[in-house]
Amino acid sequence: MKNLRMSNIEIEIQKKNIKNLHLAVLPPLGRVRVSAPENMNEDAIRMFIITKITWIKKQQEKFKNQPRQSEREYVSGESVYLWGKRYRLEVVYSNRCNDVQTKGERLLLQVREASTTEQRANILNAWYREHLKREIPPLLEKWQKVIGVTIDDWGIKNMKTRWGTCNVKARRVWLNLQLAKKHSPCLEYVVVHELVHMLEEKHNKAFVVYMDQFLPAWRTIKDELNGLILDYMEE
């Protein structure tokens, strides 16, 4: 089925081997996606979307109004974040080696003068990745014991629409590189969220019960995470 356009909203339709319709309004720009059972006809999908138009527009408006950083150039004076703390980026030119370190309220990014924006981004992202690699293992060890599940693998990648994902069959968890920029409890919340999916794949009542049991303050942390300033990421 082709994508639909309703009330000036472009809606991506995905047919899947599922029983029920699922609607998502995705960051960073409010892209709309509907997952539908393979045998559902277009009229039924349209009727479902019509009942959700007001909610879709409300969610898109939230994304539109949410504070967002401008596209990065990785030059001195930009704001960068680590574990929720804001630093002023200071680019230091050197032909010796690339390096990143914090010094007071500054984050020093040592690069070659001829380095490109992409190269500077890669250096900083590698630094964020190292921070996450130190923080994630103890959280996984702690919460696998508490929740009573085990995973076989985990990884870090830059994701536009999700803070984390869980492949139940492969017993693998992926966590968003951007979490290194958020407050530490946000990382812990996402770890717990993904591990709970090993008990319940869907975001249903059982999932909520598990979250309430293991991390009672999860709603507050989730609201904080979703309310933080968004990074610039192309759609």
Dihedral class, residue 226 (left if φ above 0, else alpha if ψ from -120 to 50, else beta): alpha
Read off the pTM: 0.74
How high is the pLDDT of residue 25? 86
All structural domains of the chain: 4-65 (no CATH), 79-227 (3.30.2010.10)
| C-alpha triplet 86, 143, 18: angle, nearest 5° | 95
Q: CA 35, 33, 174 angle in degrees (round to 5)?
A: 85
Both structure tokens of 35: 């997952």
Label residue 62 exposed, middle or buried (CB < 10 Å: 0-12, 13-18, 19+): middle
Distance CA 143, CA 161 (A): 24
Whole-number pLDDT of residue 77: 94
Name the percent of the chain in helix, strand, coil, to the closest 5: 40, 25, 35
Residue 96 is predicted with a pLDDT of 87
Q: What is the pLDDT of residue 68?
A: 55
- Alpha-carbon gap, residue 140 to 154, rounded angstroms: 9
Q: What is the mean pLDDT of each run of 10 residues along the chain (235 residues)?
A: 83 88 81 90 92 90 66 88 95 94 97 94 96 98 97 93 90 96 95 97 92 96 75 46
Question: 112-131 as b/e, with b when 16 or more CB fall inside 10 Å?
Answer: eeebeeeebeebbeebbeeb
Give the three-state DSSP class for 43. helix
Give dist(CA 158, CA 4) in Å, integer. Answer: 29
Q: Whole-angstrom Cα distance, residue 104 to residue 48?
A: 53
- 26 membership: H or E segment, kind and range: strand 22-26
End-to-end alpha carbon distance in the chain? 22
The pLDDT of residue 70 is 56
